[in-house]
Structure formats: C-alpha cells, structure tokens
Amino acid sequence: MSQPFQLKAQYPLYLANQPVETTSWLEVTDKFSGKVASRVAQADTQTLDQAIAAAVNAEQAMAALKPYQKQKILQHCVQRFKERSDELAQILVIEGGKPIGSAKAEVLRLISTFQLAADAVTQMDQGVVMPLAVTEAAASYRGMVQRVPVGAVSLISPFNFPLNLTAHKIAPAIVAGCPFVLKPASLTPISAIIIGEVLAETDLPAGAFSIMPCHRDAADIMVTDDRFKLLSFTGSDQVGWDMKARSGRKKVVLELGGNAAVMLEEDANVDKALDRLIAGSFGQAGQVCISVQRILAHEKIYDELKTKFVARAKALKAANPALTDTVVGPMIKEKEAVRLKGWIDAAVNEGASLLTGGEISGVMLEATVLENVHSESDVYQHEAFGPVVILEKYSDFDEGIARINQSRFGLQAGVYTNDLNKMFKAWDNLHVGGVIINDVPTFRVDNMPYGGVKDSGLGREGIHAAVLDMTEERVLVIKQ
C-alpha cells in the first residue's frame, strides 16, 4: 500500500531565478485538517526590492529572446508539468483544500495554458505595416508598427486556482518578453514555488523571474513601485480597485470576480442542465470567480427547477477533498465560512427562505440554496465565494436580462435557450465580459479573452489578450 502524499518540510522562495531560504517562514496548513503541512521561505521588503531590481536588469535580455527560445522554455515547462502532474494535484488538495477531481483538472489546465503560450509565440503577429500616405503631404512616408515588451511586470495571484491563474500571468509574460516578480497567495504559495522550480531549469535570462511568498502588507511595493510597468492582480474587488488607485503610472489589469447569474428560459431542458448547474454552483465549495451564485428560472419551469435542484443539492455532503467523489470541500479558512454563514442567516432574517444547507462545521459549509432573497442582502449584492446559490423566478426574457444587469458585477453570465434571437439579444445586452449560451457562467477555456466589466475588473486574461497588455506599440516612420 502506497504512503499518502506529503509536502516537503519546507520550500525556498525564488529570487532572480535562484532558490533562496530566508530567516522568516510562512506556514502552510492542510485546509481540511487545519494542521501545518509545510512552510515556505517568506520575502521581506528588502528581498522584494532585490527581486524588482533583478527584473529591471533583465529587461533587455528578456526582450532579446527569439521566438524559438521562448517556445523552448515554455515547452520544457509543459513536459515537466506533465511529469509532475500527480504531485501537483496532491499539492492542490493539501494547500488549497481542492477536491482531487478538480485538482487534476486544474493541472491539465496548467499544462494547456503553457502549451497555448508556446503556440502563441509562433502565431501572434509582432506588428503591422501602416498606410501613412493618407494625405498628399504624407505621400512619401511609410510606416510600420512593432509590439515590444513593456518591461518588468508585477503579478499577484489568488488562492483558488494557484496553478492555472498563476500560469495565466507567468506564461504570457514569457511570450511578451517581460521579466516578472510574482506574489502568490499566502494561503497557497507552494504551487507557485513548484512552477518556479521548473522555470529554474530553463534558459530564462538571469533575473527574469522571482517568486515572493509573503503576506499582503509586506507586498505593497508590488503595487506602488514605478519600476514595474504593469500590475496584474486577481482577487477581491475591494483590494483590486484600491491597488489601482495607488498604482501610479503603470498599466493595470484586474480580474476581480463577481456574483455570476445563469438564466433558464422556458424552453430550457431542466434535466439536461442540472449536472452543470450543480457543478457550477458547488464545485470547489463555490470558491470560483464565476461560480453560479444566482439561478433565474422562467416562471413556467421554476417549480420543476426548484424541486430538482434542491434535491440534488441536499444530496451533496461537504467532505474530505482527497476523496474522489467529493464536490464540496473545505472553504479556504474558517473565517470565510463564518462570514458566509452570517450572510445566509442575515438573508433569512430579512425574509429569505432557506431551502437546504446553511450549517457550518469549522471550514466546512453545507451546499446552501436560498429563495426570496432581498436584493439588498449581502449574499445578493456581493460575491459569496462559497457554496451558496439564490433561486429567482422571472416572467419574460427582458426582465431576466434586466435582473442580471442590476448587479454591480459583470464577469460572466449563462443563458439557457434554444431561440437564436434571444441568444444574440443576450450577447448584445448583458453587461458582462462573457455570455455563455446553454451552459453555466463557470465555463472557461484558457485561450478565451476572459475578464469583466463594472466592479468585476479591467482588461482581459487569456494568452493573446494578456500578451497585448504586456506589450506596447512602437512606430517606425520612413521617408522615401
């Protein structure tokens, strides 16, 4: 019988491509048991300053990398992530509390994201020829535009997808030719350290990358330092918009989550949609930026949807993420479970009906379904980021669209309908970054331009979109 997987006792950080142990350590807990599972070297202000200086010094060497060199680096990562896939999945289970099925899926997305980046190196245009002879005075001029890297970039990744969302920052930086300093989430830093181990095996120029685990307070320099030319942050809307306000002259990309809604029209097949609705609502304990938080069902199918969805939700049990059949694992920490339990109780006190769930035990929160929730309730207005879903009834398509648009968030929305005109109407009128037809808003493929509007963020992720953000246009004008 094989021994259960265990993390190493400690992991270094990465400073200018090199593993470094510091005098301060960040404890990493097993999110299910609550016990300390490992520790990671912690960066201080001086270490962060050294990492930024190294990145700035590497700007010229990174910009000089040829496409074949970038592709070789990225393909090495793909191969090594495949070889270490079981280890990476187990790390996600321990440090993130992610159910093993979801963990394996995330490792595959890590691999896919780096492969897409390797492909993009040889597929993306590096510039265009411009027709400058648009007036008689400019008749003897020709113009060309090339895209060049912006320089050193600051990357801050979240706890919920510590491999793939980190990949969505690192891989395009390599494609663009930008040295980077990454701060992984302090709750889940080991995944990023493993990526660092693999990057250290490549021919990236000296100083091209640093991975700096630390608490948020110590990392303010990642936001304010003008040596960075771009800040890419994924996390909460309050933190993200505050960062933008303090970021100075650098470009800023924010992916800030939402409270995603899915609308089922009267022609929707409820039985066919149920599996996706359950997975989108409760997978990974709802700790997904595009987790289903609101389900709007047309009045003609509302009762059927309510009966079947609640029955399926009742059958889910919050359980050990290491078990292969677990859907709802632990929340990232007990404080978050207590917060969301408070939102649920407050909604019920304000008149909402609790159809199932609502109880917590430590970090475990039951799959919870509410209806008749007041639109001013915290659980309706804000991002729950937990296994809680609100059911709503509507009477016509325009009303459903308007109800979704009332949210201050606008990341993605789902619409179940077989009417082509309604599909296009939803695409034209929903104030979101992505409209998903006949599936839940939790859908994402890693080459999509992914991001939101309103409080959900600024800019887009996805390899091509991120590379455009990490590069800028430089014009060449030639007089003949």
Q: Could you confirm whether 289 is annotated as catalytic?
A: yes
Residue 226, both tokens = 């003008």
At which residue do the structure tokens 């300390």 appear?
Answer: 36
Active-site residue (options: 59, 77, 289, 461): 289
Q: Could you confirm whether 214 is annotated as catalytic?
A: no
> Count of CB atoms within 10 A of residue 116's CB?
23
CA 382 to chain centre: 18
Please say whether the beta carbons of 176 and 253 come within 8 A. Answer: no
- Mind spelling out the 3-state secondary structure of the chain? CCCCCCCCCEECEEECCEEECCCCEEEEECCCCCCEEEEEECCCHHHHHHHHHHHHHCHHHHHCCCHHHHHHHHHHHHHHHHHCHHHHHHHHHHHHCCCHHHHHHHHHHHHHHHHHHHHHHHHCCCEEEECCCCCHHHCCEEEEEEEEECCCEEEECCCCCCCHHHHHHHHHHHHHCCCEEEECCCCCCHHHHHHHHHHCCCCCCCCCEEECCCCHHHHCHHHHCCCCCEEEEECCHHHHHHHHHHCCCCEEEEECCCCCEEEECCCCCHHHHHHHHHHHHHHHHHCCCCCCCEEEEECCCHHHHHHHHHHHHHHCCCCCCCCCCCCCCCCCCHHHHHHHHHHHHHHHHCCCEEEECCCEECCEECCEEEECCCCCCHHHHCCCCCCEEEEEEECCHHHHHHHHHCCCEECEEEEECCCHHHHHHHHHHCCCCEEEECCCCCCCCCCCCECCEECCEECCECHHHHHHHCEEEEEEEEEC
Active-site residue (options: 255, 265, 366, 392): 255
The CA dihedral of 425, 427, 430, 432, to the nearest 10 degrees, is: 180
Which residues are catalytic, by number? 255, 289
